Structure 1
Amino acid sequence: MTDTDDPAHRERLRRWRLVLGGPADESLGAAQGRDGAMDAALAALYDGGGDGEGGRTARSAGLGSSAPRVARWLGDIREYFPSTVVQVMQADAIERLDLTRLLLEPEMLAAVEPDVHLVGTLLSLNRVMPERARDAARQVVRTVVTELERRIEQKTRAAVSGALNRAARISRPRPADIDWDKTVRANLKHYQVEHRTVVPERLIGYGRRATAVQRDVVLCVDQSGSMAASVVFAGVFAAVLASMRSLRTSLVVFDTAVVDLTDQLSDPVEVLFGTQLGGGTDINRAIGYSRQLITRPRDSIFVLISDLYEGGVREQMLRRVAEMTAAGVQVVVLLALSDEGAPAYDHENAAALAALGVPAFACTPDAFPELMAAAIERRDLTAFAHRLAAENGSG
């Protein structure tokens, strides 16, 4: 490494050496000690091969064919890099080195850093996964699910419960639910002197009993390959919502076929293993099935999570959405439910839905509880989408 008395300058040179790899040996010096081990781990993944001299190995020779070698490499990167960097390197390794086959090996699954993207990859391999790897794969998925539940459950319960309570007080209460004291006080300005009575223009109700089902929620999730992270988050959110007695929650996943996973919502791991990532997309068919689950339109929220690339009958899909909104269903369309922002999506279908008063936008998991609260209270979702885009720097 070039000599210098400035520690900050030395650190900059060190970082550049690790970024540039072996070709920078001549100008910046060879990486030594721990830096040398880090450099070797990076080279095994990102170097495209060399001339066979100086210890530089071709990419395929670095990791591509040996599960034990990959397992050791996974252990190395977990030692040398923070977990956020490890997750990026794992995702790159799966894509660049075609490691999906090796992920079916139990020793590989024991070595990886569990994250949402890895869960998506495992779910896509679910149908071809050998029995010996299933227990390890389930443990990886359960680790991620437990962490996601810890992240979202309390916030979701608080947001949804608060919105339900507010909605119960401002909506049209049943006669038995009217709070007459608050109703009279709120309508004193409408006192009719000649009749010596108050004409209540606005009825205020008690909050409904917690045991009553106040809203029906149908989550309809596109399980095509590009939606992997959204499927994982949607499955966990569905399980959390299903645990709330004030909601009746259904979960439907689809590609060209439709699968109802509602009866598995008590265990989000089983929900996720009930999905099958990949395949085509028939949104119209999925909406057609979901409509059968909606028996109380004005008390129902329908959440479609899809990139909107429709392989079914587009005109009928749009007509069904229009019919649901006209019947009073609160329709929400999410292009993604993940931390990654909006994926590639069908802009023409998104514009057609917006023309129906149904904005299509991406939503992060952290914003989803507030979105559900807005839907319960029937706030303006177009304004919500614009604010969310502004907060995320995308609009």
Structure 2
Amino acid sequence: MTNEERMKRWRLILGSQSQETFDDMGGISLTEEQWLMDQALAAIYGLNEGFEGERGSGNGPSAPRLARWLGDLRTLFDKDLVTVIQNDAIERKGLKQLLLEPEMLEHLEPDIQLASTLLALKDHIPKRSKESARKFIEKIVEEVNRLLENDIRRAVTATLNKRRHSSIPSASAIDFPYTIRRNLKQYSPALGTVIPERVYFFDRMAKSNRWHVILDVDQSGSMGESVIYSSIMACILASMSAIKTNVVAFDTQIMDLTEKCEDPVDLLFGFQLGGGTDINKSIAYCQQLIETPGRTLFFLISDLEEGGNRGGMLRRIEDMKASGVTVICLLAIADGGRPYYDQHTAQRIAALGVPVFACAPQKLPDLLERAFSGHDLAAFAADMEKREIR
């Protein structure tokens, strides 16, 4: 990088108020594209610039001007930078209300933090913007679904199918590892291979023997990102015949959203982000849903800021675990994956032998595979904690 290029970068970082200083140093000449970048950044980070003054009567920012600005961002900067800048625009310039304008929603780069904000404001969305809001949420769902669906299906199907075998022959269904282990005594030194006496095949699990997954999801204000990931995971699992899935949302009240699991967008719009927290009441409701404890995975997904009966909550978790249910506590994540939770409550739950950790979305398939296989999740939780520290 030449000295001139370095100077231009510093000029863009420091903003237009530094132009006089650079002129005194001999001056620099920004390209046309760099001038556009400078103006776009100045609207958010400059001392005096902004979006005010284009609404006709009255003061305040202009939705059309912001929409044009957002369009410029997408042509000038990489996608990752666009999401950072537009989030700063919403927070630093107090533009949350403009998220509800159709022109804004159509130009926003899909971003999970903005989707969380939009879900929290969904009850205030005017009729003219409802379709645009739904399309914006759909973009996020599609992105996360592409990230997770195939791996979750692979992990769950591979694990559950290994639990049962069939005598119906099918080359694609051969369980090679199990077949080899059961026929090691049939090894032929002359041929250097195993001659199996019996071949074992995977079988579909009968409905009466299905696994049951219950997702108990906190919908308090800090839970936006976690709610999005939980909803998409729930819908993927609900579409699999080997699993029965229930989704329960709670604040100080309980909402059973299981019937909305056919469509992750419908499920997301069923949540009411921003209420209080009564984990004890929600677990009491979920206990009534359990049919076969030994084949039930219970996920408590929460920031653990309990506003109800903390002692009762801990007793219910302990009782659930003692009955044979696999209990997992997933901590709230925010700001791109950082955990947010009540540390004291997390420690109390962990002391019961329940794994408590924040799980990156990309690791959900691994988590499900280990949980269905009956593996100890302590090592997995420790690995997640190490990733957080890094």
Unpaired stretches in structure 1, ≥5 consecutive residues: 1-6, 50-56, 170-180, 189-204
**Letter matched to residue 153 of structure 1:** E
TM-score by length of 1: 0.83
**Letter matched to residue 8 of structure 2:** R
Residue in 2 that maps onto 1:39: 38
Offset of 1:23 from its aligned partner? 2.6
Asked whether the equivalents of residues 54 and 62 of structure 2 are also in contact (C-alpha less than 8 Å), the reply is: no
Residue in 2 that maps onto 1:209: 204
Structure 2 SS opposite 1:269: helix
d(CA) in 1 for partners of 2:4, 2:51: 29
Offset of 1:361 from its aligned partner? 0.8
2:116 to 116, 120, 124: 120
d(CA) in 2 for partners of 1:224, 1:62: 36
1:268 to 237, 256, 264: 264
**Letter matched to residue 4 of structure 2:** R
Residue in 2 that maps onto 1:172: none
Asked whether the equivalents of residues 222 and 334 of structure 2 are also in contact (C-alpha less than 8 Å), the reply is: no
**Letter matched to residue 115 of structure 2:** V
d(CA) in 2 for partners of 1:182, 1:110: 55
Structure 2 SS opposite 1:367: helix
Say if 1:114 and 1:340 are closer, same or farther in 2 by CA, change over 3 A: closer
Unpaired stretches in structure 2, ≥5 consecutive residues: 23-27, 166-177, 186-199
d(CA) in 1 for partners of 2:148, 2:50: 43
Superimposed CA distance per residue, residues 87-140 of structure 1 (whole angstroms, 9 cap, x where no aligned partner): 111111111112111111111111111221221111111111111110111111
Say if 1:309 and 1:60 are closer, same or farther in 2 by CA, change over 3 A: farther
Structure 1 SS opposite 2:353: coil
**Letter matched to residue 8 of structure 1:** T
d(CA) in 1 for partners of 2:300, 2:72: 41
**Letter matched to residue 375 of structure 1:** A
Residue in 2 that maps onto 1:26: 20
Superimposed CA distance per residue, residues 210-251 of structure 1 (whole angstroms, 9 cap, x where no aligned partner): 453531001111111211111111111110111111000111
Say if 1:267 and 1:185 are closer, same or farther in 2 by CA, change over 3 A: closer
Asked whether the equivalents of residues 211 and 245 of structure 1 are also in contact (C-alpha less than 8 Å), the reply is: no
Asked whether the equivalents of residues 338 and 365 of structure 1 are also in contact (C-alpha less than 8 Å), the reply is: no
Structure 2 SS opposite 1:217: strand
Mapping of residues 296-315 of structure 1, within 5 Å: 296-315=292-311
Matched, 1:251 2:247: yes
d(CA) in 1 for partners of 2:375, 2:328: 12
Asked whether the equivalents of residues 214 and 298 of structure 2 are also in contact (C-alpha less than 8 Å), the reply is: yes
**Letter matched to residue 316 of structure 2:** R
Offset of 1:166 from its aligned partner? 3.4
**Letter matched to residue 147 of structure 1:** E
Asked whether the equivalents of residues 223 and 276 of structure 1 are also in contact (C-alpha less than 8 Å), the reply is: yes
Residue in 2 that maps onto 1:173: none
Offset of 1:343 from its aligned partner? 2.9
Superimposed CA distance per residue, residues 345-384 of structure 1 (whole angstroms, 9 cap, x where no aligned partner): 1111010011000121111110011101111112111111
Asked whether the equivalents of residues 44 and 50 of structure 2 are also in contact (C-alpha less than 8 Å), the reply is: no
d(CA) in 2 for partners of 1:143, 1:59: 27
Offset of 1:208 from its aligned partner? 4.6
Residue in 1 that maps onto 2:385: 389
Asked whether the equivalents of residues 22 and 30 of structure 1 are also in contact (C-alpha less than 8 Å), the reply is: no
d(CA) in 1 for partners of 2:221, 2:72: 30
Say if 1:254 and 1:31 are closer, same or farther in 2 by CA, change over 3 A: farther
Offset of 1:43 from its aligned partner? 0.7
Provide the alpha-carbon RMSD of the alignment.
Answer: 2.6
Asked whether the equivalents of residues 338 and 388 of structure 2 are also in contact (C-alpha less than 8 Å), the reply is: no
Asked whether the equivalents of residues 48 and 59 of structure 1 are also in contact (C-alpha less than 8 Å), the reply is: no
**Letter matched to residue 209 of structure 1:** R
**Letter matched to residue 34 of structure 2:** D
Residue in 2 that maps onto 1:218: 214
Structure 2 SS opposite 1:277: coil
**Letter matched to residue 351 of structure 1:** Q
Asked whether the equivalents of residues 221 and 253 of structure 1 are also in contact (C-alpha less than 8 Å), the reply is: yes
TM-score by length of 2: 0.84
2:3 to 9, 19, 31: 9
d(CA) in 1 for partners of 2:11, 2:221: 37
d(CA) in 1 for partners of 2:203, 2:354: 29
Asked whether the equivalents of residues 164 and 204 of structure 2 are also in contact (C-alpha less than 8 Å), the reply is: no
Asked whether the equivalents of residues 222 and 255 of structure 1 are also in contact (C-alpha less than 8 Å), the reply is: yes
